[in-house]
Amino acid sequence: MRCPKCAGQDDKVIDSRSSREGATIRRRRECLKCGHRYTTYEVIERQGLMVIKHDGRREEFSKEKLLVSLQRACQKRPVAQQAIGELMEKITDEITNRYEGEVPSMAIGERVMEGLRGLDGVAYVRYASIYREFQEAGDFLEAVKKLETKHDTATLRLPGLAG
């Protein structure tokens, strides 16, 4: 590991902790050359996962692309970046644990909608409108109705809807 301050290659680990429910190890390091302290994260490297698109194309699964889509859905909503990051990690873990080699894009989209539904109703409808390619107002109404049906332990309602 190179020191971010002096580029020295010799360091010592001061502290190691498990984070993100054991999926990552956080290490505090100290450069032996300049004394600068910095943090590194160690994660399990997973075998490349290919996403099978609707039209049959294949592309490599990207956590960054997943994060961007979650952030766009939650834009200008009262959702913490930490909650979005945790949802991204949870979806990534579920997908990589369930599928080997290839995953249909539909499986990812459905898992994202499920996660957003529990996180923020407006973000869920935003994502669903793009993922499901809504063409008419009725498509939005159907998505809103799905929010009002019982799911797990809570019924989520959109602000401004009588119920």
Tell me whether residue 2 is in a domain.
Answer: no
Q: What is the pLDDT of residue 78?
A: 95
* pLDDT score at 153: 47
Please, what's the b/e burial string for 72-93 (b: 16 or more CB within 10 A of its CB; e: otherwise)? ebbeeeebeeeebeebbbebbe
Residues 57 and 132 in one domain: yes
Q: Are 70 and 104 part of one and the same domain?
A: yes
Q: Which residues pair with 2 in a beta bridge?
A: none
Residue 161 belongs to a domain: no
The count of domains in the chain is 2
Taking only the tens of pLDDT, the chain with its 163 residues reads 899 999 999 999 999 998 766 778 999 999 999 999 999 988 776 678 999 998 999 999 999 999 999 999 999 999 999 999 999 999 998 998 899 889 999 999 999 989 998 999 899 888 888 876 656 666 666 766 776 665 544 444 555 544 4
| Residue 155: per-residue pLDDT | 47
Q: Is residue 157 assigned to a domain? A: no
Is 117 a domain residue?
Answer: yes
Q: Where does 23-80 have alpha helices with state H?
A: 63-73
Whether residue 94 sits in one domain with residue 54: yes
The residue segments making up the domain with residue 34 are: 11-43
Q: What does pTM read for this prediction?
A: 0.60
Determine, yes or no, domain membership for 144.
Answer: yes
